[in-house]
Structure 1
Amino acid sequence: MGTFLLVCICGGLGAVARFMLNTSIQRWWHRAYPLSTFIINIIAALCAGTAAAAYFYQTVNYSTYLLFVAGFLGGFSTFSTAINEMVSLTRTRQLAVAAFYFLTTLVVPFCAVVLGWFFGSIGH
């Protein structure tokens, strides 16, 4: 039960961090491309890759990995919002922006995970 509550707390902290970063970016970004969600998901992917490598190389234990990835990053990242934004862009006939957002939302986070794994495996 303790781990469950800690994951919930970490998820809440991740959601608050996402809200704060999202709000900050949206204050100055006023274009069709959903930059705030994109940046949040890139940061989350980079962190997830780093955490996965740290766990793989036993730099962190499973509990720490679980709290950070399932908890904090689970609350911080927002793939469902990205999909909703793609649908909204398509509905408003901003097809080029929607297609670009679709591609970048899939490709760049994958690359960020790989880069994160590289960072997390330095020295091993």
Structure 2
Amino acid sequence: MIQWLAIALGGALGSVLRYGISTGVHHWWGREFPWGTLVVNVLGSLLMGLLFILLVERLAVAPALRAFWLVGLLGAFTTFSTFSLETLNLMQAGELGRAAANVMLSVLLCIGAAGLGMALGRQL
């Protein structure tokens, strides 16, 4: 039961952080491209890689704490469903170049960020 509560608490925090960061990015860079979602997903991927190494491989962390960070907070923080909707909206608006750029940037940068996070975690 404690693990479920940890996930719920992490999810609540992650979703609020996602909203705040995404809104801030859109405020600075505009809404012509889904920059907010891209930034959140890349940051979330970096943190997922880093925290996976730290919490699973390096530290003796309780399962509930790992669940809080990896499943709850980062699961709610990253936004694949939002990415999908924004990409589809770009496609339906005839913005095929922007849609393709969003897919390529999101996949490449998020995989790269997760790998970087894992590499950073192994350096600690």
Query: Which TM-score band applies after superposition, normalised by the shorter structure?
Result: over 0.9
Q: Can you list the C-alpha shifts for 1:34-91, whole angstroms capped at 9, x where unaligned? A: 0000000011000000011113433252332221010100111101100111100000
Task: Output the CA distance in 1 between the equivalents of 2:19 and 2:96.
Answer: 27
* Structure 1 gap segments, 5+ residues each: none
What's the CA shift for 1:19?
Answer: 0.9
Instruction: Please say if 1:110 is aligned against 2:111.
Output: yes
In structure 2, how many angstroms separate the alpha carbons of the residues matched to 1:31 and 1:15?
20
Counterpart CA distance in 2 for 1:57 and 1:102 is 31
Change over 3 Å in CA distance of 1:72–1:60 after alignment to 2: farther
- How many residues get paired? 123
Q: Measure the CA separation in 2 of the matches of 1:121 and 1:48.
A: 13
Mark the runs of 5 or more structure 2 residues left unpaired by the alignment: none
Question: Could you tell me the TM-score, scaled by structure 1's length?
Answer: 0.92
Runs of 4 or more, structure 1, over 3 Å off, are: none
Match of 2:52 in 1: 52
Once the two structures are aligned, what percentage of the paired residues are identical?
27
Q: 2:52 is aligned with what amino acid?
A: A
Higher-helix-fraction structure: 2
Give, in whole Å, the separation in 2 of the partners of 1:31 and 1:24.
11
Q: Name the structure 2 match of 1:96.
A: 97
**CA 1:54–1:89: 2 relative to 1, 3 Å:** same
Q: CA deviation at 1:25?
A: 1.4
**Cα root mean square deviation, aligned:** 1.3
Q: How does 1:1-124 map to 2 (within 5 A)?
A: 1-61=1-61, 62-123=63-124
Paired amino acid for 1:46: L
Q: What TM-score, normalized by structure 2, do the two folds share?
A: 0.92
Contact 2:6 2:65 in 1 (8 A): no
CA distance in 2, matches of 1:60, 1:107: 31
Distance 1:117 1:25 in 2: 25
